[in-house]
């Protein structure tokens, strides 16, 4: 069975890390030389150790010339990318203008519909306002009816209390006048007796003369 893929991670042991760096660096420089010779390619390789030490390889020892070529290529690539971005920006601007114009035309075409929707919305608001006012009016009428009922009940109670008080006053007055009437009747009786005893009526005088 073949070995599984080994996960690459930092070697914690310092000595093992230095040994591995030395071996891999030598192998990398060897591979760079091989591809330069075998494929007639210009190769520039730079490796810095963890301590900052530089190890490099360049085809025919022309590192500076390869770096200058790299800078020219990088500048050209950046310039092309900038031009493409500007061109894309112009296209984006044109697209934005066309899109805005198209939206304006569509909005103008839909204007009657939007106007109808706006009017419908206004009508709906008016209907809702009228319904709300009618509801408040109904509540006020109910409150007025309740208050009127309470007032009638209060008036009825006041009238009943007034009648009751008037009846009591009349009964008190009758009880106070009764002794006076009795004494008055007795006095009239005495007067009648006195009259009868001291005064003769005309028919009685004629009777005595005969």
- Each residue's pLDDT tens digit, 74-100: 777 666 666 555 555 555 666 666 667
Show the 3-state SS of 117-145.
HHHHHHHHHHHHHHHHHHHHHHHHHHHHH
pLDDT in tens, the chain (210 residues): 456 677 788 889 999 999 999 999 999 999 999 999 999 888 999 899 888 898 988 988 788 888 888 888 777 766 666 655 555 555 566 666 666 766 666 665 555 555 555 566 666 777 677 777 777 777 877 887 888 888 888 888 877 777 787 777 666 655 555 454 444 444 444 444 444 444 455 555 555 455
Q: 3-class SS at 160?
A: helix
Q: Are 44 and 58 in contact (CB under 8 A)?
A: yes
What was the pLDDT predicted at 35?
93
Is the C-alpha dihedral spanning 146, 148, 154, 156 positive or negative? negative
Which two three-digit tokens encode residue 164? 């009751």
What was the pLDDT predicted at 174?
58
Torsions phi, psi for 13 (to 5 deg):
-70, 125
pLDDT in tens, 152-172: 888 888 777 777 877 776 666
User: What is the C-alpha to C-alpha distance for residues 111 and 100, in angstroms, rounded to an integer?
Assistant: 16
Q: Are 37 and 30 in contact (CB under 8 A)?
A: no
What was the pLDDT predicted at 136?
76
User: What is the C-alpha to C-alpha distance for residues 84 and 120, in angstroms, rounded to an integer?
Assistant: 50
Tokens 């894309």 belong to residue: 88
Q: How many alpha carbons lie under 13 Å from residue 33 in its C-beta half-sphere?
A: 9
Is the C-alpha dihedral spanning 170, 172, 174, 177 positive or negative? negative
Stated as kind and residue range, the H or E segment containing 48 is: strand 44-48
Measure CA 39 to chain center. 72
């Amino acid at each position: 069975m073949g070995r599984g893929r080994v996960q690459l991670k930092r070697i914690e042991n310092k000595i093992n890390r230095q040994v591995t760096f030395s071996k891999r660096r030598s192998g990398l420089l060897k591979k760079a030389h091989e591809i330069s010779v075998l494929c007639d390619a210009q190769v520039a390789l730079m490796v810095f150790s963890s301590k900052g030490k530089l190890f490099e390889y360049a085809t025919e020892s022309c590192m500076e010339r390869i770096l200058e070529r790299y800078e020219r290529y990088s500048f050209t690539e950046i310039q092309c990318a900038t031009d493409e971005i500007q061109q894309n920006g112009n296209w984006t601007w044109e697209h934005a203008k066309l899109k805005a114009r198209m939206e304006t035309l569509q909005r103008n075409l839909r204007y009657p519909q939007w106007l109808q929707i706006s009017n419908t919305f206004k009508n709906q608001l008016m209907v809702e306002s009228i319904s709300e006012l009618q509801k408040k009016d109904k509540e006020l009428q109910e409150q007025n009816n309740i208050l009127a009922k309470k007032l009638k009940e209060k008036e009825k109670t006041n009238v009943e209390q007034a009648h009751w008080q008037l009846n009591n006053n009349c009964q008190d007055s009758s009880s106070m006048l009764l002794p006076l009437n009795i004494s008055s009747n007795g006095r009239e009786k005495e007067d009648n007796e006195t009259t009868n005893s001291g005064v003769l009526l005309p028919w009685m005088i004629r009777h005595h003369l005969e």
